[in-house]
A and B are shown apart, each in its own frame.
Chain A
């Protein structure tokens, strides 16, 4: 756990707010995406900021908080709905300290702070995940699910398993901050 996580310096772009975005990640519509700062977007991730709702002006499609991690091969898509004959995309808002495991597909509407999503999960459309929740690996969450705070969901379909301990918030915060600190450029070429 203390070991640094290296990445190739050429592969990641570091912004002035400390975001580290891999060049091999597919970022569509970057002008509609907000990264909170000190967020890592790993290689192979696909973030669809181009799926914006119709309308004038500037729209924020996907907003991420601080110390987030979008794992390798993740797909982040805003949810969509046809309501009264109109088809629209809805914005996706993700809080701070959120780690999304590799290979997950996230179409949630809202994700709170300190959420940990496992690997190969599928989060259905318009899911609301409240703070400090945890989604186990390989979970499939059906659309329109509500994941209450401090809940652990697992299985397919994702069901409530247990309540997480009260100190989950500190644990997840330490984990995400620790990960960002350990995520360092490799000094030697491999």
Chain B
């Protein structure tokens, strides 16, 4: 897992200290920077869990039509009725077509009749209870009281469901209850079952005569409705797509708006956008040794950058017992320079639950951070920086690409803890983590970051009290404000030492499917590519069969005794100087020639007109030719007679041509 830095949001907790990072539950309070907001009034970080959310608009996710909030609210209390036997005339506007069927469904008609039946009584009761709407003191908020009385005015019968009115109507109308005549339903209760509304015989018959399971609607398809619906798949009706909402967010304590989107539904711009990324420095952490391993692998294997990134998790792991340095880069978003100070946050001691034994292994690693404050330059547009062109320090003349720069860094970085690099509005500092031998798990630690910045708004009192210019000039210096926040730095998982890996991984493991998993390569060394299998590849040993070579490697990686179990030869090692292609073919593999012994590269590139080959290929020539099974051609000085004779022939032709010219002219 790549090293990462997450920020702590206190979420209105009482104590500003973050929880210890090794607890699984504490990951809830830490968020990546881009998910956080910042309230200017409270000077505090807010996260998605503690903000107050309001809906600012609705839209259909399918057609992106923006639905006015008024019609959404009006439609909310709609009676949802089942639909039966619907055919659609056209594929669009399903909702409108459904509407007609909804209105004529049996349940809807039943409900209408019920309403008509009870309406006279409800009107009588609501009119008497609506006489004194102001005496509804039970509503704590005057707004909701006004809303409920307005609602009662508009929709007769709603006041019946108010807790206040119910008691009142119960008291007043008990005498009238006897006056309500019995209601006669439109259809028999049993007939409803025939429509598939309930269980019973009809369902049983259906199940008995099932032909395929697909005829029965699944639970997920049926439970969208809150009433029992038919089991038949054929009776399922298309559902309306629920609307999605655009939200605006407020600070929970001061109710200042943090996020206010624009009115247009699909616009990604915001009227107000107070995100933490505009106030807090962006922090990212990287492990230089991981990057170096990655570069080495890329160079030796020449895979594309994206591929090798995915396949090199083991090369960069943290090993127990070693010390690693890590780089933290801070990017300043403000238009003023800031001074940053880091501090390791003390882990909160758990209240008395640890025994002495646990305490012994409690600190599995130790982290050294730079203690001095370091400045970060202000943010400015890209063209204002002088060294815009070579932001990465790449000069094409000298060899200062990735490897070179790393080497330079290692040479110049005499102290391991401190500022490493300052570029534009980014400062990189180095810290160091020391892992004990028994450490396990993730390397995570809390870090307190505090920074001071110059406040933009001058004190209004100062402005008004501006007397003489000299007095104003010598007045208080620009106010330096201080802000601090906690972060958690996760450097990755600690891999146990090599011997323990081998003991567990020497035998291929069988996973649940019974498929043999290949044993894990130990993570100590960068992985080499496939073995060289033919002449011309670097590292190829002639006279030895390819299979035996691989077998040797297999044994080598399987044994636990050898301390370096990887294949014996790494392409970066200086190989046995036995490989020289005899013919002037370009190298058959794209392996980098910089890592090859220097003797090989010129010989491969040059045509055969050069002088004698540089390697003792007299003996190898025999092996090569025998291995490749070509004809036994006698050799002089390592060149085949054929080549030599061709060369001699060409020289002769050239000489004859020149001689002929001389004779003629």
Contacts and interface: CB of A to CB of B under 8 A. Distances in A.
Interface of A: 1-6, 71-72, 102, 114, 130-132, 146, 148-151, 160, 165-171, 181-182, 184, 186-190
B305 A146 contact: no
A157 B259 CA distance: 32
A184 B389 CA distance: 12
B372 to A, nearest CB: 24
B266 A130 contact: yes
Given A166-B273, A171-B34, A182 B392 contact: yes
Contacts of A148: 59, 61, 64, 244, 266
Given A166-B259, A184-B394, A5 B305 contact: yes
B401 interface: yes
Interface string B315-347: 000000000000001000000000000000000
A146 B62 CA distance: 6
Interface string B280-316: 0000101000010011000100101110000000000
B49 to A, nearest CB: 13
Contacts of A168: 34, 268
Select the residue from B59, B266, B291, B590 with max chain A CB neighbours within 10 A: B266
Residue of B270, B392, B592 with most partner-chain A CB within 10 A: B392
B69 interface: no
B284 A190 contact: no
Closest A-B pairs by Cβ, 4 of them: A190-B592, A149-B266, A131-B268, A167-B34
B396 A187 contact: yes
Contacts of A186: 401
Given A2-B392, A184-B394, 16 more contacts: A1-B284, A4-B394, A6-B305, A72-B304, A72-B306, A146-B64, A148-B266, A149-B268, A150-B268, A166-B270, A167-B273, A186-B401, A187-B399, A190-B590, A190-B592, A190-B594
Contacts of B594: 188, 190
Interface in B378-402: 391-392, 394, 396, 399, 401-402
B275 A167 contact: yes
A3 B64 contact: no
Contacts of A166: 259, 270, 273, 275
A115 B381 CA distance: 24
B61 A160 contact: yes
Interface in B59-95: 59, 61-64
B277 interface: yes
A42 B266 CA distance: 31
A187 B63 CA distance: 50
A149 B266 CA distance: 6
A186 B299 CA distance: 11
B267 interface: yes
Contact of B402 (A4, A146, A165): A4
Contacts of B392: 2, 4, 181-182, 184
Contacts of B592: 189-190
B483 to A, nearest CB: 19
Interface of B: 34-35, 59, 61-64, 244, 259, 266-268, 270, 273, 275, 277, 284, 286, 291, 294-295, 299, 302, 304-306, 329, 391-392, 394, 396, 399, 401-402, 590, 592-594
Contacts of A72: 304, 306
A165 B394 contact: no
Main secondary structure of the interface of A (DSSP, over half): loop
B61 A1 contact: no
Nearest to B403: A188
Nearest to B261: A166
Contact of A146 (B35, B63, B291, B593): B63
B401 A4 contact: yes
B37 to A, nearest CB: 8
Scoring A4, A132, A186 by chain B CB atoms within 10 A of each residue's CB, the highest score goes to: A4
A188 B267 CA distance: 46
A160 B402 CA distance: 40
B266 A165 contact: no
Contacts of A165: 34-35, 275
Nearest to B306: A102
B497 to A, nearest CB: 28
A167 B396 contact: no
Contacts of B302: 190
Given A160-B61, A166-B270, A169-B268, A3 B402 contact: yes
Contacts of A2: 286, 329, 392
A103 to B, nearest CB: 11
B40 to A, nearest CB: 16
A7 B402 CA distance: 14
Contacts of B295: 3
A51 to B, nearest CB: 27
21 contacts: A2-B392, A3-B305, A4-B392, A5-B306, A6-B305, A72-B304, A146-B62, A146-B64, A160-B61, A165-B275, A166-B270, A167-B273, A168-B34, A170-B277, A171-B34, A184-B392, A186-B401, A187-B399, A188-B399, A189-B592, A190-B299
Contacts of A150: 268
Nearest to B32: A165
A150 B269 CA distance: 11
B267 A149 contact: yes
Given A3-B294, A130-B266, A188 B306 contact: no
B277 A167 contact: yes
Nearest to B62: A146
Contact of A181 (B64, B244, B329, B391): B391
A159 B139 CA distance: 42
B208 to A, nearest CB: 34
B322 to A, nearest CB: 23
Contacts of B286: 1-2
B572 to A, nearest CB: 14
Contacts of B291: 3
B268 A132 contact: yes
Most buried by A among B59, B291, B299, B304: B304
Q: Which of B62, B306, B590, B593 has the most CB of A within 10 A?
A: B306
Contacts of B35: 165
Nearest to A160: B61
Nearest to B301: A190
A182 B393 CA distance: 12
Contacts of B273: 166-167
A188 B601 CA distance: 14
A160 B275 CA distance: 24
A119 to B, nearest CB: 9
Contacts of B268: 114, 131-132, 149-150, 168-169
A6 B394 CA distance: 12
Contacts of B305: 3, 5-6
Nearest to B400: A187
Nearest to B428: A2
A12 to B, nearest CB: 13
A189 B401 CA distance: 12
Nearest to B273: A166
Contacts of B304: 72
A18 to B, nearest CB: 14
A94 B401 CA distance: 34
Contacts of B275: 165-167
B16 to A, nearest CB: 24
A130 B391 CA distance: 33
A130 B64 contact: yes
Contacts of A131: 266-268
Nearest to A150: B268
Contacts of A6: 305, 401
B600 to A, nearest CB: 15
